[in-house]
Amino acid sequence: MHWPERNTNFFGKRNYKHDVNEKWEDNFKEVIEVLDGFVKDGKIRHYGVSNETFWGLMRHLEESKINKTTRCKTIQNPYSLLNRTFEINLAEVSQRENVGLLAYSPLGFGTLSGKYLDGNLPENTRLKLFPAYSRYTSKQAHILTQKYAELAKELNMSLAHLALAFVNQQSFLTSNIIGATTMQQLKENISSIEVELSDEILNKIDEIQELQPNPAP
């Protein structure tokens, strides 16, 4: 379920404003019943949601419990060093209800590889090809990326390894959705699973985040 069809906050939208004239009608029960039929027919094994909010995820779980239908198993939302909004309330639901996060954009469109620092904009990169993708290009995101790059250098590891290892170690994570253009990038991404961040390092990451929490929601 890639997007909520109701009016809500997703993909960087903040400051929810309710639309009293919204035409959407609550159809959670109907949608889940259809998905439940797919499961019983053997067409799918499970289903998950994406870009969903705390309210939306809880409605999915509530309806499946009340009607004894198939249950939402995963939630695919953004999560990275530059976007930790998942921790505000969805992380608790994820842990208590056993709905694992499929973290997308763990490198923030490549921003957390460090390749865009110092004003660089390499050819054939996502931000070069799609300049309208401004989610991770704010001044605040740039400042934090620089801070994380300095920490990675201090630890003698790549910024990508620091960023991906941070996501990998979250207890609510089911899968880290990596992306790569080259074989070298793919190998670096995969090898991040071998990186273990100590409590001291995680505390340093939190200190940096406190400078500008969630600069790329």
DSSP labels for 17-63? ---TT------HHHHHHHHHHHHHTTS-S-EEEES--HHHHHHHHHH
pLDDT category, 201, cuts 50, 70, 90?
very high
Single-letter code of the amino acid located at 154: E
Report DSSP state, residue 171.
T
**Residue-range domain boundaries for the chain:** 77-211
pLDDT in tens, 162-185: 999 999 999 999 999 999 989 999
The candidate with the shortest Cα–Cα distance to 167, out of 81, 96, 61, 93, is 81
Q: How far apart are CA 11 and CA 31, in angstroms?
A: 22
Q: What is the pLDDT of residue 134?
A: 84
pTM of the model: 0.94
Domain 77-211, CATH 3.20.20.100 — does that match? Answer: yes
